[in-house]
Amino acid sequence: MITIYHNPRCRKSRETLALIQESGVAFEIVEYLKTPLNPEQFRALLHKLQMQPDELLRKGESIWKEKYKGRALGEDEILRAMAEHPKLMERPIVVRGQRAVLGRPPENVHRLLRDPARD
Catalytically active residues, by annotation: 10
b/e string for 67-90 if b means 16 or more Cβ within 10 A? ebeeeeeeeeebbbbbbebbebbb
Query: Which is it for strands 27-31 and 93-96: parallel, antiparallel or unpaired?
Result: unpaired
Helix residue spans in the chain (DSSP H): 11-23, 39-49, 62-67, 75-84, 110-113
